């Protein structure tokens, strides 16, 4: 695991770098905010451990800058600033967790593991199967680079099918996902939206990639 540590306290910095090394982590230690920012921009890290009270550039400004650049690396704030207002400011700026000094090294390791695990579990912003690309951030669908205009319901149906590409999805499961977990309506309503979605996709492909499996549900298959 690659860790960027930005900490100006020499004792804490040396101890953490040594501790990370003993755990076989690749730890890059920077002692001021500006050099920390340069490192964050120049190399990919699995996590960033960031003090707030730093020379040259504050940890909060460093955090805001990397988040504005689109960097989603998990960031854990490690600081003596422990008021509610300071925690809220850090989390609102894009931090994933907050550890107050003094701290136990084992707890820090556990929190690093937790934020990295949560980051890997986040749904992908872009789903792609073959020439079909679904962008969840701007809610657009592209086929061979050309946009396909879908209604919000059609988009949601396609997203669910793409996430389970190659799997047969029962109508009821799809309806419960689209409306609510205890949905008790009829499944016929989904046919209207499904037919519209299929017709739009047929204009992009020779055959619609959404197939009906009689008595079971739907499956998205795109070769």
- Rounded to two decimals, the pTM is 0.56
CATH number, domain 2-121: 3.40.50.2300
Q: What is the separation of C-alpha 213 from the centre of its chain, rounded to a whole number of angstroms? A: 33
Distance between CA 31 and CA 37 in Å, rounded? 11
Distance between CA 150 and CA 173 in Å, rounded? 21
Using left for φ > 0, alpha for ψ between -120 and 50, and beta otherwise, residue 4 falls in: beta
- Segments making up each domain of the chain, as ranges: 2-121, 126-220
8 Å CB contact between 34 and 57: yes
Distance between CA 145 and CA 214 in Å, rounded? 33
Q: What is the separation of C-alpha 138 from the centre of its chain, rounded to a whole number of angstroms? A: 15
Give the pLDDT confidence score for residue 92 in this predicted structure. 86
CATH number, domain 126-220: 1.10.10.10
User: Which stretches in the chain have pLDDT values below 70?
Assistant: 82, 120-124, 180-187, 223
Give the pLDDT confidence score for residue 184 in this predicted structure. 52
């Amino acid at each position: 695991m690659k860790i960027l540590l930005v900490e100006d306290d020499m004792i804490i910095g040396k101890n953490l770098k040594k501790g990370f090394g003993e755990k076989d982590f690749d730890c890059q230690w920077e002692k001021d905010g500006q050099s920390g920012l340069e490192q964050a921009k120049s190399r990919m890290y699995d996590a960033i451990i960031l003090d707030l009270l730093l020379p040259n550039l504050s940890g909060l400004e460093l955090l805001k800058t990397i988040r504005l650049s689109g960097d989603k690396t998990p960031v854990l704030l490690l600081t003596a600033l422990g008021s509610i207002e300071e925690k809220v400011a850090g989390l609102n700026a894009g931090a994933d967790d907050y550890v107050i000094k003094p701290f136990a090294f084992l707890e820090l390791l556990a929190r690093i593991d937790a934020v990295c695990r949560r980051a890997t579990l986040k749904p992908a912003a872009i789903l792609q199967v073959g020439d079909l690309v679904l962008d969840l951030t701007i809610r657009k669908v592209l086929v061979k680079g050309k946009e396909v205009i879908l209604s919000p319901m059609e988009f949601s149906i396609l997203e669910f099918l793409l996430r389970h590409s190659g799997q047969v999805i029962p109508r009821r499961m799809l309806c419960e996902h689209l409306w609510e977990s205890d949905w008790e309506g009829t499944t016929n309503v989904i046919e209207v939206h499904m037919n519209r979605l299929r017709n739009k996709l047929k204009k992009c492909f020779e055959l619609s990639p959404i197939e009906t499996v009689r008595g079971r549900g739907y499956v998205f298959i795109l070769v």
